[in-house]
Amino acid sequence: LIWAPSGRRLVSGLLALNLVLLGAALLTAEVFNPEGLKHQEPRLFILVLMALSLAWMLWYLLWARRQPGISPHRDHHAGGICVTVVLMVFSACSLLLHVFKMGYYIIMAECKPAAKVLLPFFEAPFLGLQTYLLWGHSRDCIHKHKILTRSGLVLTLTTDLLLWLSAVTEDTVHLEIELEKEERAVFPHASLPGSFDDSNIGMGNVSQCHCGAHAGCRIFRKGYEVLYPFNIEYYLMAACLLYIMWKNVGRHMEPHSHPEHAQKVTLRVVYHGGVLFGPLVGAVVLLVGIAIFIMYQVWVSSAHGRFTAFVLFYSYHLAVIPVMSFCSLAGVIIHKIEARAQDMGHNPTRSLDVILLLGTALGQLSICYFSVVAAWGMGPSGILGGLDLSYSLLSLLELILQNIFIIEGLHRHPDITQRQSRRKIREFNSFFKKGIKPKDTTKEVTDPPVPLVEKSEVRTATVAPVEKEPHSRNHWSRRVLQEICAFLILANIMLWVIPAFGAHPQFENGLGKQFFGFSAWFVIVNLGQPLGVFYRMHSVGALLEVLVTA
Amino acid sequence: LIWAPSGRRLVSGLLALNLVLLGAALLTAEVFNPEGLKHQEPRLFILVLMALSLAWMLWYLLWARRQPGISPHRDHHAGGICVTVVLMVFSACSLLLHVFKMGYYIIMAECKPAAKVLLPFFEAPFLGLQTYLLWGHSRDCIHKHKILTRSGLVLTLTTDLLLWLSAVTEDTVHLEIELEKEERAVFPHASLPGSFDDSNIGMGNVSQCHCGAHAGCRIFRKGYEVLYPFNIEYYLMAACLLYIMWKNVGRHMEPHSHPEHAQKVTLRVVYHGGVLFGPLVGAVVLLVGIAIFIMYQVWVSSAHGRFTAFVLFYSYHLAVIPVMSFCSLAGVIIHKIEARAQDMGHNPTRSLDVILLLGTALGQLSICYFSVVAAWGMGPSGILGGLDLSYSLLSLLELILQNIFIIEGLHRHPDITQRQSRRKIREFNSFFKKGIKPKDTTKEVTDPPVPLVEKSEVRTATVAPVEKEPHSRNHWSRRVLQEICAFLILANIMLWVIPAFGAHPQFENGLGKQFFGFSAWFVIVNLGQPLGVFYRMHSVGALLEVLVTA
């Protein structure tokens, strides 16, 4: 899975690299010198890329895919049912966002540049067509017109990345809202205990178009404000799927088991293993979380309920996250006690999993560290400040412990003993001590043959006791691990749903906003939050695997 | 070579991740809100890390390495002689820099915070001890006290990264110099044709300590200014070597051939193959380059010679870079004509080489794109602006073509035919057509057995003509490729020496500075230039390999 470019992939890779760098330079130029580029070059560049991508997608969907033998294989690991459904939801929200954006820009047309007003009209069809392509063809391993296909994929990918980057750095609408909020803040009911609305940093260059009393304009702008995180998520997710499609061009797949299989296995494990407490507690967390989320969404938009909404949000997280940390810690300790053989062989899928886990965790880790630094810099500041600080610190702990638990779980050797009779266990253990790998038992392992590496302690100390009473001990530790995994899966789903569907108190309630300035904090949160959502999604998948192999 | 964390490496990796994120948050806080952190927290954090790293290094050097069996293997690919010598040069320059820094800060002590004044006094011993460690032990594969060793390595690595980040974002000295330059700019002789000294952007928060007429202070500051790029390079390079050491902890090496072997082979190839024109033209480029470099350094510091120095610099590059692009293009075309079998097997060393080539190329590519955008935004602006723009565009072309040439070269199958008799060639080719790999010929390949993947064209079209006259054609294309590689190696060495030893006209001559603002441009150039130097160093290594296997 390492990116070893051959002739053709090299060319499309270099194309992508150069387009992304040029686009990033243009967008950066706009941030640092908004007056410097007189002809809206960043937007024109994105429009050209979008037109080219649209042309390629139409070519592929209308003409190329009808040809025989263009996609003889399908990669069943790409674009699972869960990912596709989430992508559809995000795409629907993004399309709605673009409708609001069109309305807002048409009302504001006289004081916005033409390229900006035109952009949503091109972006909506691009988004729709791309969603259709990813829905139907994200598993294709295309084998014809490889150069054209790779270039087209790379063009679409580049457009997604630049639209994402532009969404992350484009904060004018939010600056306008902040300004109006300040204007409102002279009314007495708007001054809440512990609210930080009075920050004045980073409000430099806002255009002077206000909605004023225009009701339609305000509705459109509110819709824009609520929906834009979905758009950011959508572009990141679509870029990931396109990247996998690009890697799959020209790939030959071996016939594999379907990934849906794993989910069925999970259900069977949970059902037959008598795993009860984990799913039960997880379901409670899920239900309470949904109730809290709905209350948060109802109250946060009103000036009166804002404070209560924040307190509710933080209280919920401060209750759930310590339990999750404790469960992860218990799991790590059980791993240590069990001291099972570790599977350290080369396994590219697992390496990618681990890299993705650590890479996406970076998002929330950095938001937490930035919050902690901001809290340190600002000193003690009210209830919300204290809640935010404890939330950040506990999140850090939880992320670290959960990562250790998941990664150690992924590296444990799948439990062969459970699928075999006692006789075979003893046979395996005796081979194990001699360091010889018996041919017949390795057939039970689902993965391709991997070397069995033992930890030195295993060999010296714990093999004998395991051999003495393998069943009772295994059963005990298996059960606890499965309960922990089941609970963590449901809790992670909840922690994924809350920020994915628009609750961002760390952005709205702002020690960080006050300390780093509006623009910097906007960029930090908008880079970190989508990665955090990705992390939760990915950790659910990894925990499923740990649960099955526990 | 994928980072598949096991128990222990996971812990030290997470430690590094968290320390880097916390440090980055602190340094970012200082950039966006210089008044926010009242107690110099970023510097205190770095000081603590430095003290811990120093303690670990002393422990390792004085006690641990004396133990028997702590480092039974040595990784002969790590820390080659060339890398070590360059590291020594950079470290000597960095130590000198710290002497200047100490002098400057002592004179300025009353208006600088205490932590800042203290920092160089701790940094110098840290730097010296680290250089000694890397000089003597960068090839160690440590097998005892693994947790402590990994943690210590990771601490030192984190300190290096944070010192690098702090050097990249720390621009106060340069802002002071810029301010004084402006004050001088009222004198008539300072206003040069096409000079952009009068930029006033980003000069916000400079402390009001000026050197004034204090001669010692000015000398110290000048030394600081000239030497700081070496310091940035040093930290990056040390971090790379420490990363390799960290990866090598607990690794078992197979007995390998020494990499010095490759250099001897190169010399033999060049000598016996009659390669003449490439080295000759390359030597001319090298000699002229050294002359230009010396003239540049002499003239650029004087106000009179500044313009001439820039024109000289750009003229030299505008002469050399098109020739390099043309050679790379010719090499790519020869690769296409020859259509040799491609070696597409899994080869982790080569994958790392390719990733490093593309990753380090990002540095210069982004500087070029940012310069192009700045030139586009500023419109036509004098001779130097035009020279800078053409230099950027040509560099882009050269980087892309050279990358294609090198990466395709690395993926060609090593020429087996040259080491065997005509009989064996025919035997090989007949096996080749049937797609069967003969056991006896693969023994000649130096790498571990890799699958021979053929391009479809090879099989259908070109095998027959190659078999007809393999020697003459091979000889012709081999010779040209070797000439090209030899020339590119020498040219890349020159393009590596010039920026590594302190010629940064893109920083001093500033369309970009004027367009993006001083601070943003400072960060862009200081992130990009060291990567560019790395790219040239690495491409020389890769070209050597292409030359040997041509």
- Return the pLDDT at A382: 81
- Return the pLDDT at B412: 78
Neighbours of A476 (CB within 10 A): 12
pLDDT tens for A343-371 read 666 666 677 778 888 888 998 899 999 98
State yes or no: pLDDT of A446 exceeds 70. Answer: no
Using DSSP, state whether B355 is helix, strand or coil.
Answer: helix
pLDDT tens for A390-402 read 999 999 999 999 9
Question: CA nearest B365: which of B373, B168, A35, B282?
Answer: B373
Higher pLDDT, A464 or B541: B541
| Residue contact A13–B404, C-beta within 8 A | no
Closest CA in chain A for residue B370:
A25
- For chain A, helix (H) and strand (E) counts, in that order, are 20, 2
User: Angle at which helices A470-500 and A422-434 pack, to 10 degrees?
Assistant: 90
| Any A CB within 8 A of B396 CB | yes
Higher pLDDT, B261 or A334: A334
State yes or no: pLDDT of B455 exceeds 70. Answer: no
pLDDT band of A415, cuts 50, 70, 90: low
- Return the pLDDT at B7: 53
**Residues 24..53 of A with a Cβ closer than 8 Å to B: which?**
24-26, 28-29, 32-33, 36-38, 41
Instruction: Choose from A436-440, B39-43, B121-125 the range with maximum mean pLDDT.
Output: B121-125
| Any B CB within 8 A of A14 CB | yes
**Per-residue pLDDT averaged across A211-223, rounded?**
79
Higher pLDDT, A298 or B56: B56
A544 to chain B, closest Cα gap in Å: 20
Tokens linked to A529: 């939050």
pLDDT band of A476, cuts 50, 70, 90: confident
Higher pLDDT, A503 or B44: B44
- Percent of chain A's residues with pLDDT above 90: 22
DSSP codes joined into one string, A480-492: HHHHHHHHHHHHH
State yes or no: pLDDT of B434 exceeds 70. Answer: no
| Any B CB within 8 A of A522 CB | no
**Residues 6+ away with beta carbon under 8 Å from B469:** none
| Any A CB within 8 A of B425 CB | no
- DSSP state for residue A493 in the 8-state scheme: H
pLDDT tens for A448-463 read 333 444 333 333 333 3
Q: Which of A37, A347, A515 sits opposite B36 (nearest CB)?
A: A515
pLDDT tens for B135-159 read 888 888 888 888 888 999 999 999 9
Higher pLDDT, A183 or B188: A183
A37-41, B64-68, B347-351: which has the minimum mean pLDDT?
B347-351
State yes or no: pLDDT of B195 exceeds 50. Answer: no
State yes or no: pLDDT of A26 exceeds 50. Answer: yes
**Residues 440..479 of B with a Cβ closer than 8 Å to A: which?**
455
| Residue contact B411–A36, C-beta within 8 A | no
- Percent of chain B's residues with pLDDT above 70: 72
B146 vs A193: CA distance, rounded Å: 52
Cβ contacts (< 8 Å) between A523 and chain B: which residues? none
**Residues 6+ away with beta carbon under 8 Å from A370:** A512, A516, A521, A524, B25, B28, B29
Cβ contacts (< 8 Å) between B5 and chain A: which residues? 354, 407
- Return the pLDDT at B378: 83
B235 vs B127: CA distance, rounded Å: 9
A132 vs A514: CA distance, rounded Å: 42
| Any B CB within 8 A of A517 CB | yes
State yes or no: pLDDT of A538 exceeds 90. Answer: no
Q: How far is CA A312 from CA A196, A306, A308, A309, A494, in A?
A: 18, 10, 6, 5, 15
Q: How many CB pairs under 8 A join A and B?
A: 161
Question: CA nearest A167: which of A249, A264, A98, A268?
Answer: A98
Closest CA in chain B for residue A517:
B32
| Residue contact B362–A7, C-beta within 8 A | no
pLDDT band of B91, cuts 50, 70, 90: very high
- Return the pLDDT at A426: 46
Instruction: Choose from A89-93, A188-192, A435-439, B439-443 the range with maximum mean pLDDT.
Output: A89-93
pLDDT tens for A376-386 read 888 877 888 88
| Any A CB within 8 A of B365 CB | yes
Q: Which residue in B376, B457, B524 has the most chain A C-beta atoms within 10 A of its own C-beta, making it the best mutation to test that interface?
A: B376
Q: Which of B7, B29, B351 sits opposite A408 (nearest CB)?
A: B7
A6 to chain B, closest Cα gap in Å: 7
Instruction: Choose from A168-182, B199-213, B527-541 the range with maximum mean pLDDT.
Output: B527-541
pLDDT tens for A261-273 read 555 666 676 667 6
**Residues 6+ away with beta carbon under 8 Å from A497:** A289, A290, A293
pLDDT tens for B518-544 read 778 888 888 888 888 889 888 988 888
| Any B CB within 8 A of A373 CB | yes
Average pLDDT, chain A: 76
| Any A CB within 8 A of B204 CB | no
Q: Look up the pTM and report it.
A: 0.76
A265 vs A283: CA distance, rounded Å: 20
| Residue contact A373–B7, C-beta within 8 A | no
A448 vs A436: CA distance, rounded Å: 17
State yes or no: pLDDT of B350 exceeds 50. Answer: yes
| Any A CB within 8 A of B356 CB | no
A402 to chain B, closest Cα gap in Å: 12
Query: How many Å separate Cα B350 from the centre of its chain?
Result: 18
| Residue contact B4–A346, C-beta within 8 A | yes
Q: Which residue in A27, A33, A147 has the most chain B C-beta atoms within 10 A of its own C-beta, making it the best mutation to test that interface?
A: A33
| Residue contact B520–A32, C-beta within 8 A | yes
**Per-residue pLDDT averaged across A58-71, rounded?**
83
State yes or no: pLDDT of A157 exceeds 90. Answer: yes
- Return the pLDDT at A94: 92
**Per-residue pLDDT averaged across B54-74, rounded?**
84
**Per-residue pLDDT averaged across A524-538, rounded?**
85
| Any A CB within 8 A of B358 CB | yes
State yes or no: pLDDT of B346 exceeds 70. Answer: no
Question: CA nearest A261: which of A436, A2, A76?
Answer: A76
Residue that has been written with the tokens 């040809």 in this structure: A67
State yes or no: pLDDT of B53 exceeds 90. Answer: yes
State yes or no: pLDDT of A74 exceeds 80. Answer: no
| Any B CB within 8 A of A250 CB | no
**Per-residue pLDDT averaged across B331-342, rounded?**
80
- Return the pLDDT at A159: 95
pLDDT band of A18, cuts 50, 70, 90: very high
Closest CA in chain A for residue B343:
A6
pLDDT band of B512, cuts 50, 70, 90: confident
- Percent of chain B's residues with pLDDT above 90: 22
Angle at A134 between CA A130 and CA A138, to 5 degrees: 145
- Return the pLDDT at B191: 36
State yes or no: pLDDT of B443 exceeds 60. Answer: no
State yes or no: pLDDT of B260 exceeds 50. Answer: yes
| Residue contact B6–A342, C-beta within 8 A | yes
What is the amino acid identity at position B457? E
A515 vs B26: CA distance, rounded Å: 12
- Return the pLDDT at A456: 37
Higher pLDDT, A258 or A54: A54
Q: Which residue in A251, A376, A393 has the most chain B C-beta atoms within 10 A of its own C-beta, making it the best mutation to test that interface?
A: A376
Average pLDDT, chain B: 76
Q: Which residue in A17, A26, A32 has the most chain B C-beta atoms within 10 A of its own C-beta, making it the best mutation to test that interface?
A: A32
**Per-residue pLDDT averaged across B478-487, rounded?**
89
- Return the pLDDT at B401: 94
B8 to chain A, closest Cα gap in Å: 10
A351 vs A320: CA distance, rounded Å: 29
- Return the pLDDT at A541: 83
Question: Residue A340: which region, alpha, beta or left (left: phi > 0; alpha: psi -120 to 50)?
Answer: beta
Tokens linked to A110: 């006289």
Higher pLDDT, A117 or B420: A117
What is the amino acid identity at position A397? L
A152 vs A173: CA distance, rounded Å: 32
Cβ contacts (< 8 Å) between A33 and chain B: which residues? 377, 515-517
- Return the pLDDT at A500: 76
B465 vs B442: CA distance, rounded Å: 23
| Residue contact A374–B28, C-beta within 8 A | no
B419 to chain A, closest Cα gap in Å: 26
Closest CA in chain B for residue A396:
B18
Closest CA in chain A for residue B347:
A4
State yes or no: pLDDT of B288 exceeds 90. Answer: yes
Alpha helices in B379-421 (DSSP H): 382-411
